[in-house]
Structure 1
Amino acid sequence: MSSAKTMQNSHRSILVIGTGAAGLVTAQTLIKDGFTNVHIFSKDSQPGGVWEHNKVYSGVFINNLYGDYRFSSMEMPRHPSRDPKDTRLSAEDMQFYFEKFTETYLRDRISFETEVLKIRRPQPPFDSDPPNWIVKFRKRGKKEVREMGFHRIVLCTGGCHKPRIPAVFSPSAAQVSGFRGPVLHSSEFRSQLDAVFAAVQPSDLHRTSFSNSRHDPYLPDPPNAEDHGGGSDNNDGSGVVVVIGGGKSAQDIAAYLANEGHHRNVCMIYEKTDAFVASTTQLSSRIRRSRILGVLSPNSELRTPLERFLHKTWLGSRTVRGIFNMASNYSFKAFQIPPDSPLRLCQDPFWSLRVNDEVCRRGNSFHVLANEGKIHIEAPARAVGFGKDGKSIVLNDGRVIRADAVILATGYESSWTNLFDVQTINQVGLGKYPPQYVSLNAYDEEWKGYMSLKNPPPAPAANQQWMSCIYRGIVPARNIMKRDLAINGAVFSTNNGYVFETTAHWISSYFLEDTFLELPADIKAAIQSTERTSAWLRRRYPDMLHWTNESHSSDIQFWSWPQYTDDLLRDMGLPYGKARTGGNALTWLFKPIEVEAIKDLAKERATLRIQSA
């Protein structure tokens, strides 16, 4: 009966939405597992998601070393223009890898330029074999809207799909204010690069400090009562690009514009920028890819004596916090950042999700360029609107910055809200919800003994920290017994390749109804599990949850991705921890976790399937 059920499930139609990293490895895993009716829809014209060909520009580096971010079935081929001596992983490398991966495993499987407009449950009358979902979609350039039915859907739409644009910088606000230059979101930077370059010409001005000079290119004439800014007499004539935001996209764009060959005047406005880790030399993989950072970061389950010592004792907690502080201070030192620099107005790497890996100092990186005065920084500051002169930005303290082009690196909203109506979102459980079965402080006692979590940063109101009700970050808890909807790519981690691939196997077993996959007994148990996870995240990242969106934070396993993937493997009844990645009582902590460790998960699961038949 188990074999017959597996065969029946493998013939059910599946739609994978999205061709970023998560979508590609999910589709490949499902097909390799024997699913015969897998469809893939992508709004883009080529694979890669955020690293799709039309979104990538030169000089952008990922928070990984070359070869780290990949899947077990395919080594990373070398990009033709890549310098063999460069150890950093670039956006162009990722784009090249995903194109080769698609060509190798998913050729002719993907419907590109196919936008999913709406997903809903079917309505009566039903046919003899009704699908679980009706998907409305449209091909690019076509007016015709079509519908198809699918038994199962995997959402791989990520959290960098729908731009978040503040109302004060919306197209209508720009029009009302009479702003004359281009205003675009960071996601459009590559496609709108010509418009930015047309609005702001290269500058040969020697840029150091202009704070006391009438020739500061970033300041318009002094404002008066009727006008938020004046003419451009003080400017060098080339103009200014203003980048609003302090995250990685803002840093990458500012560095691109300020780098050799472009030489634009670029101003970056933020209240806080991302934290970063770096050193004067490249760190060993025994630190970068091992469990050490996961063990040093507190987790909701402390399964080893070492973890309990580090997070539940005074000495252990001082060690943990000291290591994170030392890493931060050493990173500033590696980039020679002065104590009074606005670059130090960054997140705390222990409490934050906004931490970038710079590996080691590069001469043309954001921090170097900003430190040299080639990127002008206004911080701490918040941009509050356009000036009345049509070529400036007003800050929260009333100051005015010259702006001939504005780039909004202001983040993203959930990619799920446009795909489902409110009724379906609530029916399935894809929104953010308050606790249903427990009080907000129900788990306080459980984690009260975590000495490493003493003295947290201030937290917003509880209703700004509600989390998605997604079991394991993969399945909406309210829908878990239907086995017709799953998510990949929404768990926030620092090792996406390993996490996405492990998750894809979990999803495949979930759809195949493998009896060895351990799931909650019922919907209530699933929801209670997600509520405990939400309570933990409110304690672990008290100042972070209010800005995350649902499709990018179904769970947060930032430093703790080794523990998270161990949990997924444990769910599937497969070896995990030291048994999976090697090492012994003395070496397991520093044993690099290679993606090859999960290369045979499909075979291992097939063996369990035969044994349980």
Structure 2
Amino acid sequence: MESVDLVVIGTGWHGLVAAKTYLEVNPSAAVVVLEAESSVGGVWAKHRLYKGLKSNNLLGTYEYSDFPMDEATFGVKPGEHIPGEVLHTYFEKFAEHFGFANKVRLNSKVESAEHQQDGSWLLTIAQPGKDGKHAATTTSLETRKLIVATGMTSKAFLPDFDGQDSFQAPLFHCRNFLNYEKDLLQDGKRATIFGGTKSAWDTAYVCAVSGVQVDWIIRESGHGPTWMAPPYVTPLNKWLEKLVTTRFFTWFSPCIWGDADGYGGIRGFFHGTWLGRRIVDAFWGILGDDVVQLNGYDKHPQTKKLKPWVSPFWVASSLSIFNYPTDFFEYIRNGTIRIHIADITHLSSKTVHLSTDEALSTDALICSTGWKSTPPLKFLPEGIDRQLGLPWSPDALDKGLIKEAEKEILNRFPRLRDQPPANPKYKPLCTSAEAAAPHPFRLTRFMVPPSMINDRSIAFLGITMTINTAILAQTQALWATAYFDNKLSVASAITRPASKDMSTKDDVSQVSHLEWETALHTEFGKWRYPGGFGRRNPDFVFDAIPYVDMLLRDLGLRTHRKQGRLAEIFEPYGPEDYRGLIDEWKAGHS
């Protein structure tokens, strides 16, 4: 049986840079990168690139710091969104440029990962038969270290509908749109789209520009339409992706790890005082009102239906950006896209029936209904899910500790006590663990299970959900490499008094600083981003740079990387500010 030093599962933003970083630090290591699909790229793999798909990010903010997306090579100009085909090519060239493309094994789906007594992991890998004419094969692979970088968009969640067996039309998740676009994207066809996420906006747009009549259903019992912003916002006309990485603006977001940026006093004023909170509320009010005015939601009865139901203060990565070459709202005003705030009651032959008693004739039902929380593999032995801190398992952290963490969060950030009103008609599409989770991922730094911190054998990369994917991916990759190589100080020995509410064992009256910090960080999202995915994932927008600061501090690297105090506060951070990060770290550990 083959045995290697490191296996990386997944070839999206996090998987590729994790392999590259580990090899750059450990050039003689035996590394294998496994990808279930037939091409690299994750979200940007070939089979997911339907017509017109582009990044939300503009050129310059969606690239690794040591591999710029130059115009001569990739053909994208400043101020342009990046086509999906270009991003796929970018990933291929990244692996080729850094010399590890030969370590990527495509069509290799990891079925299970079993933790061995010696700390290693035994992987069971399924590979399809050649040309579909041979039976699938199963192989085993042993690895000392394992990085799970499958991300949060690997397993599509497709709800069940009454009557779907008699629907007699395509019913599919937007992930698989490419398989149907040739037949569907024709003038005179009709499509029904279900969901209020950014992917619903994307599919509605590509259908409308192709002459397809669109009925767009947003659940009356759901969370409503997502926030969609122009690339430039606020009366100052700030580039949104740069706004959220400017230190001055990050201070307006309460953040439990925010003091890692070195400006704890200023953050304390903004979130710990009455006056500071009034200023913060004014900032978010201006930001939200600006988007509403720019989009003209209130100028037409149909566009008004797309006005979000919750303040942008409470949402995170679900805040998205318009990346369409023409006016999206014109298709709503002229009736090409019709919006229905309703639930689907059942399906019949080529018809979608709504709770408003409407019956929509259609040629396809496209579901933009999110993703399953479970990764696309099984962890063994049975019961290890809890030890790994996974959200569909029993909670790995003590209930008393979580209670204390919540108390600390609300004491530090009183604004979070006033949660947004819940939709009185809300009901989940599915209550199973695959779609919903009883608690967040319980991972130190959102990467490592605290109970296995000294094992140094597994890390989960890419469960964070932000619009600063590239910056976070490369920083997490270096942190994980240092952690695996035992060159990262993790404060597991520091203790704090245990709460009287905590169920301690053998009269132990101390809880590790590691557990306490993990409880604070993972529980924070539930209170900070109830309008996003904070109950399950580290889901944040304005909090990405402080998070990177925290990881850099762990690594012993500079957090303030600008020239001068004013630049540090008012100039936005981008991938270019982290160029040479690995060399800096290696120089300190030579």
TM-score by length of 1: 0.81
If you compute each CA radius of gyration, which structure gives the higher value, 1 or 2?
1
Q: Which runs of 5+ in 1 are unaligned?
A: 1-10, 124-129, 204-237
The count of corresponding residues between Structure 1 and Structure 2 is: 535
The one-letter code of the counterpart of 1:564 is: Y
The equivalent of 1:218 in structure 2 is: none
Answer yes or no: is 1:133 the counterpart of 2:105.
Answer: no
More deviation, 87-96/539-548: 539-548
The equivalent of 2:275 in structure 1 is: 315
More deviation, 135-144/404-413: 135-144
Per-residue deviation, 1:280:
6.7
**What is the CA–CA distance in structure 2 between the aligned matches of 1:182 and 1:562, rounded to whole Å?**
43
The equivalent of 2:375 in structure 1 is: 416
Aligned match for 1:266, one of 209, 214, 236: 214
Aligned match for 1:570, one of 537, 548, 553: 553
**What is the CA–CA distance in structure 2 between the aligned matches of 1:119 and 1:358, rounded to whole Å?**
37
Answer yes or no: is 1:154 the counterpart of 2:171.
Answer: no
Answer yes or no: is 1:299 the counterpart of 2:238.
Answer: no
The equivalent of 1:488 in structure 2 is: 461
Q: Report the 3-state secondary structure (helix = DSSP H, G, I; strand = E; otherwise coil) of the residue aligned with 1:13.
A: strand
Task: Write out aligned runs for 1:173-192 (5 A).
Answer: 174-175=164-165, 178-192=166-180
More deviation, 516-525/322-331: 516-525
Please tell me whether the aligned partners of residues 152 and 485 of structure 1 are also in contact (alpha carbons under 8 angstroms): yes
Q: Report the 3-state secondary structure (helix = DSSP H, G, I; strand = E; otherwise coil) of the residue aligned with 1:569.
A: helix
The one-letter code of the counterpart of 2:584 is: E
The equivalent of 1:8 in structure 2 is: none
Please tell me whether the aligned partners of residues 405 and 516 of structure 2 are also in contact (alpha carbons under 8 angstroms): no
The one-letter code of the counterpart of 1:378 is: H
The equivalent of 1:384 in structure 2 is: 345
Task: Write out aligned runs for 1:445-484 (5 A).
Answer: 445-446=407-408, 447-453=410-416, 455-458=418-421, 466-484=439-457
The equivalent of 1:399 in structure 2 is: 358
The one-letter code of the counterpart of 2:9 is: I
Q: Report the 3-state secondary structure (helix = DSSP H, G, I; strand = E; otherwise coil) of the residue aligned with 1:412.
A: coil
**What is the CA–CA distance in structure 2 between the aligned matches of 1:104 and 1:247, rounded to whole Å?**
35
Aligned match for 2:238, one of 283, 288, 291: 283
The equivalent of 1:229 in structure 2 is: none
Q: Report the 3-state secondary structure (helix = DSSP H, G, I; strand = E; otherwise coil) of the residue aligned with 2:314.
A: coil
**What is the CA–CA distance in structure 2 between the aligned matches of 1:85 and 1:429, rounded to whole Å?**
41
Q: For 1:92-141, what per-residue CA distance to the aligned partner results, in whole angstroms no more than 9, with x for missing partners?
A: 33222112112212221100111111111247xxxxxx671110112222
The equivalent of 1:244 in structure 2 is: 194
Per-residue deviation, 1:30:
0.5
Please tell me whether the aligned partners of residues 67 and 89 of structure 1 are also in contact (alpha carbons under 8 angstroms): no
Answer yes or no: is 1:528 the counterpart of 2:516.
Answer: yes
Q: Report the 3-state secondary structure (helix = DSSP H, G, I; strand = E; otherwise coil) of the residue aligned with 1:22.
A: helix
Please tell me whether the aligned partners of residues 317 and 539 of structure 2 are also in contact (alpha carbons under 8 angstroms): no
Task: Write out aligned runs for 1:40-189 (5 A).
Answer: 40-78=33-71, 82=75, 84=77, 86-105=79-98, 106-122=100-116, 132-141=120-129, 142-168=135-161, 174-175=164-165, 178-189=166-177
More deviation, 183-192/114-123: 114-123
Answer yes or no: is 1:556 the counterpart of 2:539.
Answer: yes
The one-letter code of the counterpart of 1:581 is: K
Q: Which runs of 5+ in 2 are unaligned?
A: 130-134, 428-435, 495-510
Per-residue deviation, 1:251:
0.7
Q: 1:444 to 1:85 in 2, by over 3 A?
A: closer
**What is the CA–CA distance in structure 1 between the aligned matches of 2:483 and 2:586, rounded to whole Å?**
13
The one-letter code of the counterpart of 1:258 is: A
Q: For 1:378-397, what per-residue CA distance to the aligned partner results, in whole angstroms no more than 9, with x for missing partners?
A: 12x2223213xx12112234
Please tell me whether the aligned partners of residues 245 and 542 of structure 2 are also in contact (alpha carbons under 8 angstroms): no
Q: Report the 3-state secondary structure (helix = DSSP H, G, I; strand = E; otherwise coil) of the residue aligned with 2:411.
A: coil
Per-residue deviation, 1:76:
0.5
Per-residue deviation, 1:479:
1.6
Per-residue deviation, 1:351:
0.1
**What is the CA–CA distance in structure 1 between the aligned matches of 2:455 and 2:76, rounded to whole Å?**
49
Task: Write out aligned runs for 1:7-46 (5 A).
Answer: 13-35=5-27, 36-46=29-39
More deviation, 263-272/437-446: 437-446
**What is the CA–CA distance in structure 2 between the aligned matches of 1:148 and 1:568, rounded to whole Å?**
31
The one-letter code of the counterpart of 1:529 is: E
TM-score by length of 2: 0.83
Q: Report the 3-state secondary structure (helix = DSSP H, G, I; strand = E; otherwise coil) of the residue aligned with 2:57.
A: strand
Identity %: 24
Please tell me whether the aligned partners of residues 138 and 146 of structure 1 are also in contact (alpha carbons under 8 angstroms): yes
The one-letter code of the counterpart of 1:396 is: S
The one-letter code of the counterpart of 2:296 is: Q
The equivalent of 2:432 in structure 1 is: none
Please tell me whether the aligned partners of residues 44 and 84 of structure 2 are also in contact (alpha carbons under 8 angstroms): yes
Please tell me whether the aligned partners of residues 95 and 101 of structure 2 are also in contact (alpha carbons under 8 angstroms): yes
Q: 1:326 to 1:443 in 2, by over 3 A?
A: same
Q: Report the 3-state secondary structure (helix = DSSP H, G, I; strand = E; otherwise coil) of the residue aligned with 2:112.
A: strand
Per-residue deviation, 1:544:
3.7
Please tell me whether the aligned partners of residues 41 and 114 of structure 1 are also in contact (alpha carbons under 8 angstroms): yes
More deviation, 14-23/407-416: 407-416
Q: 1:417 to 1:108 in 2, by over 3 A?
A: closer
Q: 1:78 to 1:355 in 2, by over 3 A?
A: same
Q: Report the 3-state secondary structure (helix = DSSP H, G, I; strand = E; otherwise coil) of the residue aligned with 2:456.
A: coil
**What is the CA–CA distance in structure 2 between the aligned matches of 1:151 and 1:363, rounded to whole Å?**
48
Q: For 1:257-299, what per-residue CA distance to the aligned partner results, in whole angstroms no more than 9, with x for missing partners?
A: 101xx10011111131111222678635763542234221111
Q: 1:430 to 1:524 in 2, by over 3 A?
A: farther
Aligned match for 1:581, one of 533, 555, 562: 562
Q: 1:500 to 1:472 in 2, by over 3 A?
A: same
More deviation, 133-142/13-22: 133-142
Aligned match for 1:596, one of 567, 576, 579: 576
Aligned match for 2:490, one of 518, 523, 534: 518
Per-residue deviation, 1:589:
2.3
Per-residue deviation, 1:301:
4.2
Per-residue deviation, 1:343:
1.3
The one-letter code of the counterpart of 1:107 is: A
**What is the CA–CA distance in structure 2 between the aligned matches of 1:376 and 1:79, rounded to whole Å?**
41
